[in-house]
């Protein structure tokens, strides 16, 4: 079969493209940035999802669409969130329907739930996003659902927890850099909250399982082995042998300070970060386990692996750069001053 992956140069989209290629599938990616390490037998189309004519041309001969293109939270994209995450998603779905594709897979985000509830997140948990990124991603889900329902296209929606693995930078780069340099790292509140991640390879395993099962639905994907945010950070510090310490910040003071720094445009932390990272956040993955999926990585193991990759590859990553926010080093702004003082 031929697969089209929008956002195929991004962290997750690239992994999907390579996994499909390993399975012997024909793969075409559509992105505004070309990954120089892309295997040459993966076709590349330079195009934005907001370009309807370009998207329509890329759909030629496609059987399955994998929609990953999005402006993510840390881009702080403002009004552009709606253009790409909603209207771009609608364009991709509409052109997929015109092309007669067999299935559509849409990758979304935990941010559609907003402030996490007490207890595990399930498909029955209300979606109440609290900031522009989450609102745009939820509206994008609805746009795709409407088109696929109208044209009877099987739709799989996948919402991953924060994804780790070799090559993941973005906001995690800040954490890794501070620990490597023996700086204190900070949590909002006590940090004694249950907090779940997902390893990219475990995400790919479930992704392919869902694709093969062909079972329409929405799937919330996270590891089944995790502890508290403070405990995971302290375990990573011990793994490195760092002298860093996990320090608590008062919730109200920290959130208001980060909000001010955000509006001053001197901090990389956007509302999705400072409004939610002091709240327990984890998916109930029992429905996924019942499908036969078993994640291989605990939170602790995936943090160790991601950190070790960062330490071994930081200079190369900085030198090459990337147009994918999750694969690129992050500009820390005023946080660099905080790091020097910590």
Q: Would you say residue 24 has pLDDT above 90? A: yes
At 210, the pLDDT band (50, 70, 90 cuts) reads very high
When comparing pLDDT for 316 and 51, which is higher? Answer: 51
For the entire predicted model, the pTM comes to 0.91
Mean pLDDT of 121-134: 95
Assign 146 to helix, strand or coil: helix
Least confident piece of the model among 32-46, 64-78, 215-229, 244-258: 64-78
In the chain, pLDDT over 70 holds for what percent of residues? 92
Instruction: Please indicate, yes or no, whether residues 135 and 274 belong to a single structural domain of this protein.
Output: no
Q: Please give the torsion angle defined by the CA atoms of residues 228, 233, 237 and 239, in that order, rounded to the nearest 10 degrees.
A: 60
pLDDT in the model for residue 32? 94
Q: What values do phi and psi take at 172, rounded to 5?
A: -70, -25
DSSP 212-269: HHT--EEEEE--S---BHHHHHHHHHHHHT----EEEE-HHHHHHHHHHHHHTT--S-
pLDDT in the model for residue 79? 82
Instruction: Please indicate, yes or no, whether residues 201 and 248 belong to a single structural domain of this protein.
Output: no
Q: Would you say residue 328 has pLDDT above 80? A: no
CA distance 210 to 217: 9
State the total domains in the chain. 2
Instruction: Please indicate, yes or no, whether residues 140 and 273 belong to a single structural domain of this protein.
Output: no
pLDDT in the model for residue 329? 53
Residue 82 within a domain? yes
CA distance 257 to 263: 10
* Residues 6 or more apart in contact with residue 237 via CB below 8 angstroms: 179, 185, 244, 245, 246
Mean pLDDT of 88-101: 98
At 16, the pLDDT band (50, 70, 90 cuts) reads very high
Instruction: Please indicate, yes or no, whether residues 131 and 238 belong to a single structural domain of this protein.
Output: no
Q: Would you say residue 304 has pLDDT above 60? A: yes
Instruction: Please indicate, yes or no, whether residues 134 and 184 belong to a single structural domain of this protein.
Output: no
Q: Which domain holds residue 68?
A: 2-163+197-221
Q: Residue 147 CA to chain centroid, in angstroms?
A: 24
CATH number at residue 231: 3.90.25.10
CATH number at residue 146: 3.40.50.720
128-147: pLDDT as tens digits: 999 999 999 999 999 999 99
At 339, the pLDDT band (50, 70, 90 cuts) reads low
pLDDT in the model for residue 314? 75
Instruction: Please indicate, yes or no, whether residues 244 and 203 belong to a single structural domain of this protein.
Output: no
Least confident piece of the model among 24-38, 48-62, 70-84: 70-84
Instruction: Please indicate, yes or no, whether residues 192 and 203 belong to a single structural domain of this protein.
Output: no
- Whether the CB-CB separation of 19 and 53 falls below 8 Å is answered with no
Residue 76 within a domain? yes
Residue 246 within a domain? yes
């Amino acid at each position: 079969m031929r697969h089209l992956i929008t956002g195929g140069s991004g962290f997750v989209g690239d992994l999907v493209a390579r996994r499909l290629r390993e399975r012997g599938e024909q793969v075409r990616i559509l992105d505004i940035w070309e990954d120089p390490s892309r295997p040459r037998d993966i076709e590349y189309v330079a195009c934005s999802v907001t370009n309807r004519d370009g998207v329509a041309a890329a759909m030629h001969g496609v059987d399955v669409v994998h929609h990953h293109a999005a402006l993510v939270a840390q881009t702080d994209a403002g009004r552009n969130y709606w253009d790409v995450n909603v209207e771009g998603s609608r364009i991709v779905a509409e052109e997929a329907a015109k092309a007669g594709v067999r299935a559509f897979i849409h990758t979304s985000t935990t941010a559609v739930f907003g402030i996490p509830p007490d207890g595990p997140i399930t498909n029955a948990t209300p979606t109440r996003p609290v900031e522009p990124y989450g609102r745009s991603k939820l509206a994008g889900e609805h746009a795709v659902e409407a088109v696929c329902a109208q044209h009877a296209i099987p739709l799989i929606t996948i919402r991953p927890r924060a994804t780790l693995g070799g090559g993941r930078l973005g906001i995690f780069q800040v954490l890794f850099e501070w620990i490597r340099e023996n700086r204190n790292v900070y949590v909002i509140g006590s940090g004694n909250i249950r907090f779940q991640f997902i390893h990219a390879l475990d995400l790919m395993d479930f992704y392919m399982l869902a694709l093969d099962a062909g079972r329409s639905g929405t799937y919330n994907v996270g590891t089944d082995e995790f502890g508290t945010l403070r405990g995971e950070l302290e375990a990573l510090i011990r793994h490195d042998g760092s002298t860093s310490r996990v320090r608590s910040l008062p919730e109200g003071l920290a959130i208001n300070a980060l909000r001010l720094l955000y509006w001053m445009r001197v901090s990389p932390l956007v509302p999705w970060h400072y409004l939610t990272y002091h709240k327990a956040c984890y998916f109930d993955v029992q429905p996924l386990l019942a499908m036969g999926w078993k994640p291989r990585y605990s939170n602790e193991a995936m943090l160790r692996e991601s950190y070790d990759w960062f330490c071994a590859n930081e200079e190369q990553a900085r030198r090459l750069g990337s147009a994918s926010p999750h694969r690129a080093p992050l500009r820390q702004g005023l946080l660099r001053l905080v790091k020097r003082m910590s």
